[in-house]
Amino acid sequence: MKPAGVPKLNAIGYFIVIILLLGLFWEAYKLLGAPGGAFLRGTVPVVTEADKPMGVLCGSVGLCEVKLPVRADDRAMPHLWDILATIFQPPRRGSDTILLTILLRASLFTLQEAVAGFLMGGVLGFALGVAFAHSGLLERGMLPYVVASQTVPLLAIAPMVVIWLGGSWFSVAVIAAYLTFFPVTINTLQGLRSPEPTAVELMHSYAASSWDILWKLRVPAALPYIFTALKVSATASVVGAIIGELPSGIADGLGRVILNFNQYYATGPEKLWASILFASLTGMVFFLVISLLERLVVQRQVSES
């Protein structure tokens, strides 16, 4: 029996509730700030020791104010309605193009780069995983370098890629692929090794070829592992593409938009926040597409609940 009165929420319902709660938290935090935003509302200036309110720690002589960890003023944390409003206004005077159009175009452009990088990284990651799974020697010899590659900051790699390949759309995809391939390699390797020894023995008893064992046993068994990695990679590839756009001098993507609004933050903080919103939406859309693909491809046991 299901308890009455508790509505059953699906994933989308939870997502919306959490978004609303986060928004509520944001605005509630802003309410805590005294005018100016640096201090907790209600903490008062102290003139003498006797005026000091109970339980409040005072920093400097004459003042007793509780400092907020993050300033709550409209510059550091613009109101959500201001962020939403700015999306529907042109960001520059004398232009008719509203910010929404600019952000949608930039997001789509960056998403294309991310998808290209994702595909390149995914294929490379899968190929490396298969190679490592079949050769212990290759794994021992090369895996440390694959791991080491991920310890080099993307910020250092990105300009190198641009120097080698030129400041093009392709360079950005390569930079995104650099973030993408690693989780795919690791999870493919783990997934290919996941079948029980008897599942492999069964194949041997039929005198199955290595090719058949790979495609009829190991790869299907690895698919849930691979999709877990692909979901991580989908969001990572968007981050990689945004970072890759900066040294590539590509002006059409989210990277440049974020950089611009960052420089003019003081005059329009809402615009940067709106860009951040669209950057994360782009990553989420990609993630959702891969999740849907996973549902179509991976035949999974439905949890018995």
Partner 1 sequence: MTGPVVILDNVEKIFGEGASDQVHALKEINLQIEENEFISLIGPSGCGKSTLLRVVGDLIQPSSGVATVNGKSANQARLDQDYGIVFQAATLYDWRTVAKNVQLPLELMQYSRSEKELRTQAMLELVELTDFASHYPWQLSGGMQQRVAIARALSFEPSILLMDEPFGALDEMTRERLNLELLSIWRKTDTTVLFVTHSITEAVFLSTRVIVMSARPGRITADIAIDLPQPRNADTRSSVRFFELETQVREELRISEGGQEPERKPA
- The residues of the shown chain that bind partner 1, judged by CB under 8 A, are 196, 198-199, 201-208, 212, 216-217, 220-221, 223, 298-299, 301
Residue number with CB closer to partner 1 (58 or 202): 202
CB of 216 to partner 1, least distance (A): 7
**Residue 40's beta-bridge partner residues?**
33
User: For the purposes of burial, counting CB atoms within 10 Å of the CB of 237, is it exposed (0-12), middle (13-18) or buried (19 or more)?
Assistant: buried
Q: Tell me the closest approach of the beta carbon of residue 204 to partner 1, in angstroms.
A: 6
Q: How far is the CB of 189 from partner 1 (least distance, A)?
A: 19
Locus of tokens 């409003």: 85
Residue 106 or 229: which CB sits closer to partner 1?
229
- Rank residues 218 and 256 by Cβ distance to partner 1 and give the closer one: 218
Burial of 273 (0-12, 13-18, 19+ CB in 10 A): buried
Nearer to partner 1 by Cβ, of 48 and 205: the residue is 205
Radius of gyration of the chain (CA): 26
- 129: tokens are 């995983």
Closest contact distance (angstroms) between CB of 207 and partner 1 is 5
Minimum separation from the CB atom of position 205 to partner 1 (A)? 4
- Beta carbons within 10 angstroms of residue 160's beta carbon: 13
A 10 A CB-CB count for 176 gives 32
Residue 260: how many CA atoms within 13 Å on its side-chain side? 19
Nearer to partner 1, 49 or 196 (CB): 196
C-alpha distance from residue 189 to each of 8, 139, 176, 197, 221 (Å): 38, 9, 21, 16, 11
State the nearest-atom distance from the C-beta of 224 to partner 1, in Å: 9
Residue 10 or 303 having the CB closest to partner 1: 303
Residues 204, 80: contact at Cβ < 8 Å? no
